[in-house]
Amino acid sequence: MIGRLCIRIGALSGMAAGLAVALAKADPCCVAAPLPGPWDYVIAGWITAGVVALLTVLFQKLVMKQSLLLLLLLAAWIVLFVGALGGLIGGFAPNWIIAMAAGLIFGALLGWLLCWLCGRRWARG
């Protein structure tokens, strides 16, 4: 049950971070603006992924009776990695469709991996 939740949080957060950063970067038409750096993409990815993960966790808490602290801790770990990767993917992808699809796939894989690693650690004690 928690594994599927991690995959959903990771997939939604990665997709949103990749899509938001890809749609936000625009070519300036008239004014020479400095190009954003990789840290700008990472920060934008963290913000977007954090909002989406928080909404996902709150919805999960409403639907299922699970510990809110555990859900928030799990979402924070997922956002830390998936937001950074999704922001970088969105910043360097050639178009928004590739950014959204890659963010979705890598977010789901990272969410599953983090849940698997945390589950192994918590099972040992």
Q: Is residue 114 part of a domain?
A: yes
b/e 17-47 (16+ beta carbons within 10 angstroms → b)? bbbbbbeebeeeeeeeeeeeeeebbbbbbbb
pLDDT digit string (tens) for 53-96?
999 888 888 888 778 888 888 889 889 999 999 999 999 998 88
Q: Is residue 32 part of a domain?
A: no
Instruction: Look up the pTM and report it.
Output: 0.83
Q: Is residue 29 part of a domain?
A: no
Would you state the structure tokens that stand for residue 118, as one six-digit string? 């945390």
Which residues constitute the domain of residue 111? 2-23+37-124
Q: Is residue 62 part of a domain?
A: yes
Would you state the structure tokens that stand for residue 23, as one six-digit string? 């749609």
Angle, helices 68-92 vs 96-124, to 10°: value is 150
Q: Is residue 31 part of a domain?
A: no
Rounded percentage of the chain residues whose pLDDT exceeds 90? 42
Q: Quote the number of domains for the chain.
A: 1
pLDDT digit string (tens) for 14-28?
999 999 998 887 666
Task: For residue 16, count other CB atoms closer than 10 A to its CB.
Answer: 27
